[in-house]
Amino acid sequence: MFVHRTSLKQRLSPEQYHRPEALNAELEKVLRPSWSFAALKNDVPNSGDYKAFDRFGVPVLLWNDNGTLRAFKNVCLHRFAQIVPNGCGKAETLACRYHGWEYSPQGGLLKITDAPCFKKVQLERRSLDSLGVEMIGSLIFICEDLAAPSLRGQLGELAAELDHFYSEVEVVWTHTAQRRVNWKIPVENAVESYHVPFVHPTTFVSFRDESLHGHRIQSLFSSYKDLLPFSARITDRIYLWISKTVLDGPSLERFTHSHIFPNSLFYYGDLFRSIQWVEPVNAEEMKIRTLGLRPRNLRFAAAGWLLLQVFLIPYLRFAKKILEEDAGITLSVQKGVRHAGNRPSVLSMREERVFAFQSFIREKLGTDSNSEPLRPSLNENAPAP
């Protein structure tokens, strides 16, 4: 069921989708201080493994310190060079490639090259800037705000779902695209079904009845569970048979799509899971990355993997087609917002997850004094109020 019982006001103006000053405010107050997906545990599986990457324009270093994950700004304390280039590696200590200053996996400064030239510099008082790190399942999240509340604590029951579906997974497909659209546009597209009959007429085809939408909306996330019962159709029968054959204790449910605000998107079911995360390049350009994952622990090992591919191969073709269809429409939205002025708009109940996302952004920006309060999450099987 939908959480809201009426149409909703658009919470963001068209200008917030193309003005550079709007993006600058979002980077400072929304994106960098919030929890966002950064890597998989398999990216840094062993002690000494590290991964360097950019997060919202900030160079970041993720390091496995004897099983404890630590994250720092990948910026040397000396003259602020990037300590190591982006990518994965392994080291007990890291030396800055510019002047050789050396750091421990705890971020402490261990060694200064030509130390006698730096009189009165005390090593123990200097360390890299730390970032918050949390892991749910095998998903690694990072937050620049060390005072931010625990991600797991804020997600509640959703954290348990992600633990279940993302604990033992293997990457089977990757996709990266860079498009000239504001970062919020593909996020909003991913969390509403109102566009389905028009953008996906041969794939998803049409709307689902409200009773088949298991919507949850909370302060840090929204999710949709597909409640359509399985039928006698051959595709449904094959899906259920493969799930029962290759998995121990499958849920035998259709998929769930969850959005952890602001930019992390998760699609998961018994046989396939995915992660999408979106980052701005500039006010009118973004990069979107997708990881397609399969469950790692299969019954019958190699035979189970071959059987799983009966589902995965056609499904991945289907997923690629959806991404292509969405890419085309988001480009047209970007063109439209440049010329929409500041006119008000309205959202349907089917777009209430867009409303929740926009409300999160307004709250973080400090512009939500006249906010309509979000309704609390409803049990997906409860009758509408």
* Same domain as 274, residue 166: yes
* Same domain as 100, residue 27: no
pLDDT digits (tens, 9 = 90+) for 223-278: 999 999 999 999 999 999 999 999 999 999 999 999 999 999 999 999 999 999 99
pTM: 0.91
Q: Please report the pLDDT score of residue 208 as a whole number.
A: 84
> Which residues fall within 8 angstroms of residue 239, CB to CB, at 6 or more apart?
230, 271, 311
* Same domain as 54, residue 22: no
Q: Please report the pLDDT score of residue 341 as a whole number.
A: 83
The average confidence (pLDDT) of the chain is 91
* Same domain as 272, residue 353: yes
Task: Tell me, yes or no, whether 128 lies in a domain.
Answer: yes
CA angle 342–344–347, rounded 5-degree value: 135
- Which residue range forms the structural domain that includes residue 60? 44-135
pLDDT digits (tens, 9 = 90+) for 37-49: 999 999 999 999 9
* Same domain as 322, residue 275: yes
* Same domain as 195, residue 129: no
What CATH number does the domain containing 329 carry?
A: 3.90.380.10
Q: How far apart are CA 303 and CA 289, in angstroms?
A: 30
80: left (phi over 0), alpha (psi -120 to 50) or beta: left
* Same domain as 343, residue 198: yes
Q: Please report the pLDDT score of residue 123 as a whole number.
A: 65
Task: Tell me, yes or no, whether 141 lies in a domain.
Answer: no
* Same domain as 162, residue 256: yes
Q: Please report the pLDDT score of residue 381 as a whole number.
A: 37
* Same domain as 194, residue 121: no
Q: How far apart are CA 68 and CA 83, in angstroms?
A: 21
Number of domains into which the chain is organized? 2
| Residue 203, φ and ψ in degrees, nearest 5 | -110, -75
Flag residues of the chain having pLDDT under 70.
123-124, 368-385
Q: How far apart are CA 241 and CA 164, in angstroms?
A: 20
Task: Tell me, yes or no, whether 1 lies in a domain.
Answer: no
Q: How far is CA 24 from the centre of its chain?
A: 20
- Do 59 and 52 contact (CB within 8 A), yes or no? yes
| Residue 255, φ and ψ in degrees, nearest 5 | -80, 160
Q: List alpha helices for the chain, DSSP H.
A: 20-26, 151-155, 157-166, 184-190, 196-199, 234-246, 301-337, 352-365
* Same domain as 192, residue 123: no
Q: Which residues of 68-104 are buried (b: 16+ CB within 10 A; e: fewer)?
A: ebbbbbbbbbbeeebbbeeeeeeeeebbbeeeebbbb
What CATH number does the domain containing 108 carry?
A: 2.102.10.10
* Same domain as 340, residue 230: yes
Widest CA span in the chain: 78
